Structure 1
Amino acid sequence: MEAIIAIAVCGFGLAMILGLYGMVIKTEIVSKAIFLQSVEINSIADEIGLALKDGSTEDQQEAIEVILESKYPDYELAGLRKDSQASLYHLEIIHKGENSMDKLFHIKVFWSQHE
């Protein structure tokens, strides 16, 4: 009888450990996806910040759309507006994700604006 109880306790403990292992694997997959997307968003922000030159808002919007279309086809510019601070612009970029799930990202970029 004691052996049966010991086996049951060991089996329960093993089931708990294997359940935690599965959760760790799922968490790692989600964390990796979030990390890779944040690296991509930071790359987009850096590239847009470096590529922008003086010009009107329409010129800037066209330049951003060219960058996104040529290098990041899964992303599109949803909005561009001037922030309350001088030379600070707020970009809204949509990522066309898998399973028809779109994600909206907000990026702030500084550039000199002369209209």
Structure 2
Amino acid sequence: MRQFIVGGMVYAIGFQKLQSVDELLNKGIDEKHNIPGFQMPQTGLWTVAFDKVENQERLEAYQHVELNAGQILKVITSVVRAIFDHYNVSQSGAYYWCAAPRPFREKENRSRGFI
């Protein structure tokens, strides 16, 4: 797990290796349905999760955080760097992550005028 700080908040990013379609299905990931023809990479697939450490400690995962444009860029850059560094060590065949839960995303998109 890697940690980084943006806007005075500590974030953590972690990776978990999945090696079979059964492991994907056990996590509720149905890539054969989402991506027809999907084949599990020989070097495995890693799930990626990141959040504020404080949210995880309070069991309030993936709560929205207000950030300015510069802070958003720092978060994205930190996550991308962590994935690149992880790939350089693991040679992962693929990465999988999803955004916040759908009702939360829809609420955010609606509040920002996207839908």
TM-score tier, shorter chain, comes to under 0.3
TM-score w.r.t. length of structure 2: 0.26
**Between structures 1 and 2, the one with greater helix share:** 1
Q: Radius of gyration: which is bigger?
A: 1
Structure with larger RCO (C-alpha < 8 A, sep 6+): 2
- For normalisation by structure 1, the TM-score amounts to 0.26
